[in-house]
Amino acid sequence: MRWLVILICVVLGGGVARAEVATDDQHGITMQVPDGFTNFPAGMAQKRALFSYSKGEAGAPGFEVLGVTALGGTIGRESFDPTPIARQLAAALGLTLDSASRRALTWGDFELDGFVAKMRQGDQVMTLAGVQVPVKGEAVQIVLMHLGDKDLGAELQTVLAGFRAESNWLTKDERIGKLIAGGLAVLAAIALAVFVIRRRRARAA
């Protein structure tokens, strides 16, 4: 009988927990909150914080925090060295930076430069992963923190897959389209000028 009740719940959708979706109307953002993460109010005390979630017991091994903050402006496409950023974060937390490296990530049609880093204090290790996202109007930064030695790159990519917002960047196809349109406009102007010159020469002859 129990299996029948479970089957009915699944069919009706009552037996499947729906993942939480975070929204920020000001920036037009919706974000699928990863399984296991719940609201982390302490993270909202940060300046420009938009979302803050955590998983596990605070301070215990395996504890994770997911935070999204506004950057106060837009970002360009140039690559950057993540080491200075990671070093400043480590210093602010009273930790020593072990390593930091760039990590290629994707968001829709865009390729983004993320970073992963490992920090420590004695035998205590903390890992980080972060990426800046070119949201239209004001870019945001997504950061994952984990107490322990864990590569968070794949997890951050999963967060990006569920992150939705308009961008101020053009996709590759949009850039090509604008290049073609601009090129055609230039060619049309040149063709018109040549036509006028030829017409004047014909009249003069």
Summarize pLDDT for 97-139 with one digit per residue, the tens: 999 999 999 999 899 999 999 999 888 899 999 999 999 999 9
State pTM to two decimals.
0.76
Has residue 14 got a pLDDT over 50?
A: no
Q: In angstroms, what is the C-alpha Rg of the chain?
A: 25
Cβ(76)–Cβ(166) below 8 Å: no
- Mean per-residue pLDDT over the chain, rounded: 78
Cβ(134)–Cβ(74) below 8 Å: yes
| Residue of 82, 47, 44, 64 whose CA lies nearest to 144 | 64
